[in-house]
Amino acid sequence: MSDKTTIGVGMVGYAFMGRVHSQAWRNVGAFFDLPLAPRMAVLAGRSKERTAAASAQLGWADVETDWRELIRRDDVQIVDICTPGDSHADIAIAALDAGKHVICEKPLANTVAEAEAMVRAAASAPGRNMVAFNYRRVPAVALARRYVEEGRLGEIRHVRAQYLQDWIVDPDFPLVWRLRKDKAGSGALGDIGAHIIDTAQFVTGQHVVGVSALTETFVKERPLAADSAGLAATGGAATGPVTVDDAALFIGRMSGGALASFEATRFATGRKNALRIEINGSRGSLAFDFEAMNELWVSEGDGGFTRVLVTEPDHPYVGAWWPPGHGLGYEHTFTHEIKDFLEAIAQGSDPAPSFADGLRVQRVLAAVEQSAADASRYTVVED
Ligand code: SOE
């Protein structure tokens, strides 16, 4: 029997993010020596039948069909929010007000006002808060941060960040919730652009201070989703309007003086989950692509880039896993996130990225939308 203090977890939502968070809660204690032992107490979802099936498959002890009931329970000390963005603020604020610790999927909210309300609620609550920007916890990305902190790149001049996917290239792919502004807040911008903003800010230690942007919706009408709201949904005969961006491109300045470019698109045919970042400094450069997530490319002066295989025990997080060269996957980034969250709860501090960090990203998203909507910021080339 473990003598660690048990902490009860209640999770809301069980789709893609719910599944990957569940595996993290299930496995984290088996690989990391933690001060707290999470207990997967309860899973909440609207349909009793589907929630019960998901709960049995994912390893939760009980189910609720109303997240308010989950928050009321004494066996829940941590609330994990894995729902679309339109419910983040309501759930998070109620959970914080009830004294729970809260981890919330990204982007933090659908609007800056909601994110601000969440930060306000967090400031007066005893519980800790975290926004789930999982890519910070890729060992190669954390190693990139370490190199920048150690000064190995010198002064950072350029940040080049891209998040490239192609899952909606087919115009018959249905209008799932990620393509609806009322549910998701924005499109590629908030869903995957938010990740590269966070990654760029994390690795450089600088934040985005201004942007100039273009956004586009290439396919404006899609079949209504007939089955499942997920990335593998099927469409029916009726159609509806796409109310978010399909792609967002923006340039910006970082607080330390670097120039940055960002591209977030779901129309990069052939690219599945290519979160890429390249950073050029006065002494060296770094490059990372999630599609080869166990590698970091490093240039320190002459001779171009060399590959660092980020699978050594002294690389961030790696020592808890497999021998050198065996590599980690997408799911490990969530396990690392949960590990850091539990440690922060035990220490009584907010982990990074906190809700305040999530609000900072939300402000960048809003600035991008504002810039893209402002035709006066776009100079037409004369014929
Ligand atoms: C869909 O674009 C998605 O599932 C995002 O919502 C996740 O945040 C990203 O990790 C993978 O792609």
- pLDDT digits 0-9 by tens, 113-138: 999 999 999 999 999 999 999 999 99
> What distance in Å separates the CA atoms of residue 239 and residue 291, rounded to the nearest whole number?
33
Q: Which two tokens stand for residue 345?
A: 């709860």
- Split at pLDDT 50, 70, 90, the class of 235 is confident
- List Cα–Cα distances, 66 to 69, 80, 105, in angstroms: 6, 14, 18
Q: Please say if the pLDDT value at position 148 is more than 70.
A: yes
- List Cα–Cα distances, 337 to 21, 40, 197, in angstroms: 9, 16, 18
Q: Please say if the pLDDT value at position 303 is more than 90.
A: no
Q: Please say if the pLDDT value at position 3 is more than 80.
A: no
**Considering only CA atoms, which residue is closest to atom 5 of ligand 1?**
191
Using the mean position of ligand 1's atoms as its centre, give its distance from the Cα of residue 4 in Å: 34
- Split at pLDDT 50, 70, 90, the class of 236 is confident
ipTM: 0.97
Which atom from ligand 1 is nearest to the alpha carbon of 195? 8
Is 0.90 topped by the overall pTM? yes
Cβ atoms of residues 338 and 38 within 8 Å: yes
Please give all residues whose beta carbon lies within 6 A of any atom in ligand 1, as ranges: 16, 165, 191-192, 273
- List Cα–Cα distances, 242 to 42, 48, 108, 163, 362, in angstroms: 34, 30, 22, 20, 21
Q: Please say if the pLDDT value at position 226 is more than 80.
A: no
- Which of 106, 135, 191 maximizes ligand 1 atoms within 8 Å of its Cβ, making it the mutation to test the pocket? 191
